[in-house]
Amino acid sequence: KQELTRQIQLAEARRVAEEQARMEAEEQRRKEASAKQELTRQIQLAEARRVAEEQTRIKQEAAMKAEKARLAALEEEREQVARLKQEAAMKAEKARLAAEEQQRQQAEEARRLADLEEERRRVAAEQERKELEAKLAQPQIIVPNGGNEPAGPSSESSPTPGTLSASTPSPPTPSAIEPSSSESSGFFGFFKNMFQNDPGSEPEATDQPNASQPEPILEARLHQQDLPGAVQSALSGNDDVPMILIPAGEFRMGSTEDQISGLLKDFEGVQFNAFQAEIPQRQVNLEAYYIDQYEVTYRHYRAFLESTGRAAPAFWENERFHKPDHPVLGVTWYDATAYCTWAGKRLPTEAEWEHAARGSQGYAYPWGNLWDPQRTNTASYWAGKNFSSMAKWGEWMQTALDRGKAGPLEVGIFPNGVSSFGVHDMAGNVSEWVFDWYTPYENQPTLIHNPNGADSGTMKVHRGGSWSVSSIFARSTYRARENPDKRSPYIGMRCAKSSQ
């Protein structure tokens, strides 16, 4: 029994030993599997690091290639810009030389005509002298009881154009203008003859009587009210046109699509694309600058011609059609640039002009957002009504052209039409050349600083509308364009000057 018990114990001991050995073997296999998994994980981590490093290297190489491409593009763009500027400078120089050559030819032609006129006068004087000598050589016939003596020349002399009087004239009442007796007379007949080379008869001057004006216009003109944002300045260039300092700041330039759509609802016959050039609206930052308070007049332009010897336009031969304090018109963009340069100034940029017209409030018209035909010289002022369509405006305009019932007026006689900065006649009277070449606002930056337009182009911008337009074309945002060498009875100018 003891032996059996011992055998059982030995068997149990062997079983326990075998179980322990099995468990140790199992533990060993588990450790080996764990070690294998750890090795696999380390291999995977190493592979992941290698892949990440490879990707980083590829990205770095791609970034370096992109940077090289960017630098190459910038260099190419710089070279292209330099080339375009050089081409623009060459074109500008050619244009300047062509303009100088044209001026020289005009001056030579003017001198030739003057010489011919002088020769004609000399021949006429010589002929008159011979006729007088022949009459004196004839025997005198004495009439008994005294004959009627022929009347001698009158001692009265014809009046000569004067300068501004002590009081500023008020705008003439449109109904007081008598129509001309023929199309070749009056203001419009003059321009039909001169600007369109129509060989009509010599026009006759048409006086425009002034209506009574209860308000002291001169005081309002010489002593501007302290308008919001206005900064008065006595600065002027070589001419005596006073200038207004426009403070530095930002403004919204142009119109929105909603604003244009709203205009078309109130004015029939105009398509949206007629005002496409005004959009999109942009935020513009301008440095401080000066701008002429009034449009340049014939008096100022005549001083420029006399000072420089520059040839006058052909229509200047008839002095009855450019009164001293009316805005000069019929000048090309090159003429306007030459005048402003002579005056120690320059043409305003399109942005400067619009900011001075809209004021710090960004009005649609210089005085506000509501149209008032009595605040400026436009077709609505002469017609005494607003136009609701292109057809009605065109019909009235043709009648006005035929009858000579409208035209430019003396500068500064609409004190209620000044901008909030105190600048006169920014709507109507004459449209005004600006510096910029015409280019659409599309694809241009929405935030720009001191823009001055494209480097080159074919058309120059003029702003403000003239005495012939309806309200929709007298807005401060409307952009008109014309060939820079065009002389128009609707386009004049004013000058600007940088503050520094």
The pLDDT value recorded for residue 105 is: 80
The pLDDT value recorded for residue 171 is: 58
- 239: confidence class by pLDDT, cuts 50, 70, 90: confident
CB 365 within 8 A of CB 474: yes
Cα-Cα-Cα-Cα torsion 405, 408, 411, 415, nearest 10 degrees, comes to 50
* Among 47-51, 286-290, 381-385, 463-467, the least confident range: 381-385
Give the integer Cα–Cα distance in Å for 429 and 329.
10
- 232: confidence class by pLDDT, cuts 50, 70, 90: very low
Q: Judging by DSSP bridges, how do beta strands 491-492 and 431-437 pair with one another? A: parallel
318 pLDDT exceeds 70?
A: no
Which tokens go with 386? 């607003």
Return the bridge partners of 243, or none: 292
**Residues near 446 by Cβ (< 8 Å), separated by ≥ 6?**
280, 282, 283
362 pLDDT exceeds 60?
A: yes
Cα-Cα-Cα-Cα torsion 367, 372, 378, 383, nearest 10 degrees, comes to -170
The pLDDT value recorded for residue 116 is: 76
252 pLDDT exceeds 90?
A: yes
Angle at 301 between CA 170 and CA 180, to 5 degrees: 50
Ranges of each domain in the chain: 1-114, 184-205+215-498
217 pLDDT exceeds 70?
A: no
Q: How far is CA 253 from the centre of its chain?
A: 12
- For residues 189 and 102, the model is more confident at 102
The pLDDT value recorded for residue 404 is: 60
The pLDDT value recorded for residue 235 is: 55
Which tokens go with 111? 């001198």
User: Which residue type occupies 182?
Assistant: S
Angle at 329 between CA 325 and CA 334, to 5 degrees: 125
The pLDDT value recorded for residue 172 is: 55
The pLDDT value recorded for residue 128 is: 63
* Percentage of the chain lying above the pLDDT 90 cut: 47
**Taking residues 8-31, what's their average pLDDT?**
92
199 pLDDT exceeds 60?
A: no
Helix (H, G, I), strand (E, B), or coil: what is residue 363? coil
- 396: confidence class by pLDDT, cuts 50, 70, 90: confident
Helix (H, G, I), strand (E, B), or coil: what is residue 156? coil
The pLDDT value recorded for residue 319 is: 57
380 pLDDT exceeds 50?
A: yes
* Among 93-107, 126-140, 202-216, 269-283, the least confident range: 202-216
The pLDDT value recorded for residue 125 is: 67
The pLDDT value recorded for residue 54 is: 94
**Residues near 472 by Cβ (< 8 Å), separated by ≥ 6?**
263, 267, 270, 478
In 3D, which of 233, 391, 267, 407 has the Cα closest to residue 330? Answer: 407
**Taking residues 184-192, what's their average pLDDT?**
43
CB 480 within 8 A of CB 461: yes
For the chain, give the mean pLDDT: 77
Which tokens go with 103? 């001026």
* Among 56-70, 217-231, 254-268, 410-424, the least confident range: 217-231
The pLDDT value recorded for residue 134 is: 64
Helix (H, G, I), strand (E, B), or coil: what is residue 15? helix
> pLDDT tens-digit profile of 146-181?
333 333 333 333 333 233 333 344 555 554 443 333
Answering whether pTM is above 0.85, one says no
CB 276 within 8 A of CB 254: no
CATH topology of domain 184-205+215-498: paralog of FGE (formylglycine-generating enzyme) (3.90.1580)
Among 184-188, 213-217, 218-222, 276-280, which range has the highest average pLDDT?
276-280
The pLDDT value recorded for residue 164 is: 31
- 120: confidence class by pLDDT, cuts 50, 70, 90: confident
Which tokens go with 125? 């004087």
For tokens 């005198």, the residue is 140
Q: How far is CA 321 from the centre of its chain?
A: 27
Which tokens go with 170? 């008020």
**Quick one: three-class SS letters along 310-350?**
CCCCHHHHCHHHCCCCCECCCCCHHHHHHHHHHCCCECCCH
Q: Judging by DSSP bridges, how do beta strands 243-246 and 289-292 pair with one another? A: antiparallel
CB atoms under 10 Å from CB of 246, counted, come to 28
**HSE of 337, CA atoms in CB hemisphere, 13 A:** 16
CB 461 within 8 A of CB 434: yes
